[in-house]
Structure 1
Amino acid sequence: MPASRTSNKSHRKKHPDSELVVVSSSDCDSPPNLPPRKPKILPGEVIEISDDDEPTTRQPTGQTATIADLRRQLTKQREESVKNKRDYERARLENAQIRQELLDLKATRIPDNGKILLEASQLEDCINCEICTSRMWSPFLLAGCGHIFCLSCLQDWFSTTLVQFMAANPHYDVNQPHPLVPQLQAFLQNPHALNNPQVATMLAHQLPPEPEYTCPSCRERVRVRPAEVFTLKALVRTVATAAGEAIPKETTLAYLSNKRGKAKATIPPTGPWDGFFPRIRT
């Protein structure tokens, strides 16, 4: 039955050349183009993301905070350590400088044969007058308060008071006391009279007026003559001689004694305080 036979060639389909797939070894090695899988994030975990190619690390939240706090403490301790080193170095240099200055000072202050070396400026307050700030070539002490001034400054200060008093009491004479003064002086010898306030008030009205001299510094009443301080006078001259200063001549007039050596009392003709206080009979 030749009509029922079909040829195998008629069932074969011819594929064009364009549909042929060429398989090479390079295509076999490359993996298929699949989308990357995203890692699952578990609850309670934190993923640190950085620009490095290192793999991500996962740490619990509490541990991360502890590490951050420790890092801050470490950084603070490092800063304090650097600061302490700087302070120590600064203190060491200052201490070395002070010790060197002390050594230099001792080298310039070594006593020579028992002599004491002092700067003149260290004695300025002791040997200079408080009023004129000059050397007290003739220092005088006020008995009431103990302040010391030079002769010329005290005389000028007392002169101002005396001029004002003489304007109101032109007949005043310091060397001619009031007739009642001897009687009052004898009355004051009684200690019971001084304790009576009425007697004190009566004496205040009976005594003649007199200039009220005061201290230039503290304004305390000066009732007696100032006394010359000879020890301070010698010290001033010693310091002036060491400093090469010129020493002026004596500014006070010494009391004249009896040339014949008689024992009778004499009155000095002149004195620095004769115009301010009664003369002293010797």
Structure 2
Amino acid sequence: MTARAQRDAADSFDPLRPRLVRVAYRMLGSVADAEDVVQDAFLRWMGTDRALVREPEAFLRRTVTRLCLDQLKSARRQRESYVGPWLPDPVVGEDEVEEDVTLPLMLALERLSPLERAAFLLHDVFGVGFEEVALTIHRDAAACRQLAARARSHVREARPRFQIEQERGLEIAQAFFTASRSGDMTKLGAMLAADVSMHSDGGGKRPAALRPVLGWKQVIQLHKALAVMFGKYGSALVRTVMVNGLPGFITREADGELQTTALDIEDGQVRAIYVTRNPDKLRHLH
């Protein structure tokens, strides 16, 4: 391929790259894997007779989705051997969060089959018609409607009934950080719902609870122990920020590594806490 042809391929691809990465990330839950898939799609784009492609974005979205479906086969096997709870890579401060694709919904998507996940994301989140969904995943339109409907019923509970106003959410996140690091369990406890849960992803590479911590009493007991460690070794706030569509914050912990905390807030109370500690999932934040 000539340098001119490479430039032409890049010029037509690069404006679409951010949207393609969003599709791939929501399919895979991994920033690095999403970027790799999109780069693979670009290499294929360079080898395509682009004069025959009437709708480049639809063509590339199909390519990326099919590559993701291939990737999910191996990703599911990796999840089965993953140490402790698995959380998607934290994406922070997005200007555009499609619909309500927050962290709880992404976790719900993990329970779907790859085809259900693709049909739901393409149609319900990205607004792709079922005819194109059918072309993408090699099923007829009626089957795609059924896949999306099944997915919808499975993820309904994970979709927020209302979105907390961002400024208020970040205020709660700041208060949560202050109370948890200072050891003020009275203030922290008042912020937690009775059925609060805490999910920590260390991936076996940093200390983290190997199972979700469930219930107000258990979460408070854990934070009492953590507050002692924070007081002894430190935990510095980098900034409050939206994490996968949820209010949260980034900290630098005593080992020098970053950590993200995302709070699922409903009716002014924290109903779930998601902490990502696996350094492999935090590299892109540096």
- Same fold per superposition (TM over 0.5): no
Tell me which protein shows more strand as a share of its residues.
2
TM-score by length of 2: 0.20
Larger relative contact order (C-alpha < 8 A, sep ≥ 6)? 2
Tell me which protein shows more helix as a share of its residues.
2
TM-score by length of 1: 0.20
Question: Larger radius of gyration, structure 1 or 2?
Answer: 1
